Structure 1
Amino acid sequence: MPAVNLRHAVRAIVLDEDDCILLCRFEIPEPAGAVVWAAPGGGIEPGETPLAALHRELQEEVGLAVRGDPPHVWHQEVVAPGHAAGYDGVINDYFLVGTARFNPRGTLSDDELAAENISGLKWWHPREVASYDGPDLFSPRDLAALLTALITSGVPTHPVLLGL
């Protein structure tokens, strides 16, 4: 069986004092022009640790400087050719970052964000995610239920394994 080439990435579940989550609006051009709301984060560069990548990505995308090492709360593996350009799928590790509400603006320019398919940032309450009935998707798809469980039960002893 051939080796599977997965993109390793980190994502931050950035929650404010009202349990709202900060999400990036990704406009995915292929295959069907989908819009997906997902946690900020991105690929781990060669030689970089997951936490170093998390710190870098949050500074670049939303302008949040993270102190310390946030807890690892979710783990996701998606093996699906085409899910991540140039890869057979993705591994996402999610870390919980609590913060006071802020106006997100990272170090990347609008053009640099657009090159990463990011077209906006928005704070969402879990109820808004659960009741959303528009055409956009959320990643992971069951984000509202996962957030509610995380907020209600707190940090899990081991990262929760996620589906798509």
Structure 2
Amino acid sequence: MTASDYTATLARKRMGAGALLSDQFGRVLLVEPTYVPYWEIPGGSVEAGESPYAAVNRELREELGVLVRVGRLLVTDWVAPVPERTEGLMMIYDGGLLTPEQTARIRLPAAELRSWAWCTPQEASGVLPETLARRITAAVRARQDGAAYYLENGYFVA
């Protein structure tokens, strides 16, 4: 068996990369997609041949129209497969604080995003899928702690 034959047998995982963006009051920026019935953080799928870091930067430009200096990785979350989705690795990077001037320049792609809002972590938990809400809470904690956390289905491991 050649190396390429072996590589072809390895599992493939979907990957997503998002950014934790906050305002001066500690609220988190959420976006409301047009294609699902729940809110998300800005970000999206990592494309073939693209790094997660490159993906989050691309997605922020496409979704918000605002240049953001994306910082360090806060959370990596392995998500188990479910009937409608394969397993995946979801990453959240530190997007830092958006100034009021940056916030005023947010422009959403109407075909993809319906709206956006600043939410407290508690408010976010009410509009996000449970796994994503846990991931966001962990990202806020990671930012505060100066750490990076590994999760599985939004739960801390070990």
The TM-score bracket by the shorter chain reads 0.7 to 0.9
Q: Give the deviation of 1:96 after TM superposition.
A: 0.9
- Contact 1:27/1:36 (CA < 8 Å) preserved in 2? no
CA distance in 2, matches of 1:36, 1:3: 32
Unaligned 5+ segments in structure 1 are 30-34
Give the corresponding residue for 1:61.
63
Give the corresponding residue for 1:161.
151
- Tell me whether 1:26 sits opposite 2:58 in the alignment: no
CA distance in 1, matches of 2:19, 2:66: 11
Query: Over aligned residue pairs, what C-alpha RMSD do you find?
Result: 2.7
- Contact 2:75/2:142 (CA < 8 Å) preserved in 1? no
Q: Give the deviation of 1:143 after TM superposition.
A: 5.3
Matching of residues 114-129 of structure 1 within 5 Å: 118-129=113-124
Higher helix share: 2
- Summarize deviations over 1:103-122 as a string: whole Å, max 9, x none: 3214xx312x1xxxx33211
Give the corresponding residue for 1:90.
88
Higher strand share: 1
Q: Give the deviation of 1:163 after TM superposition.
A: 2.1
Q: Which amino acid aligns with 1:100?
A: T
CA distance in 2, matches of 1:79, 1:64: 32
Aligned residues: 141
Provide closer, same or farther for how the CA distance between residues 159 and 149 of structure 1 changes in structure 2, counting only shifts above 3 A. closer
CA distance in 2, matches of 1:110, 1:148: 28
Provide closer, same or farther for how the CA distance between residues 119 and 6 of structure 1 changes in structure 2, counting only shifts above 3 A. farther
- Contact 1:14/1:21 (CA < 8 Å) preserved in 2? yes
- Contact 1:26/1:120 (CA < 8 Å) preserved in 2? yes
TM-score, length basis structure 2: 0.72
Give the corresponding residue for 2:4.
none
Matching of residues 116-155 of structure 1 within 5 Å: 118-129=113-124, 132=126, 136-138=127-129, 139-142=131-134, 145-146=137-138, 149-150=141-142, 153-155=144-146
Give the corresponding residue for 1:6.
13
Q: Give the deviation of 1:147 after TM superposition.
A: 5.4
- Contact 2:77/2:135 (CA < 8 Å) preserved in 1? no
**2:47 aligns to what SS in structure 1?**
coil
Percentage of pairs with the same residue: 22
Q: Give the deviation of 1:8 after TM superposition.
A: 1.1
- Contact 1:129/1:143 (CA < 8 Å) preserved in 2? no
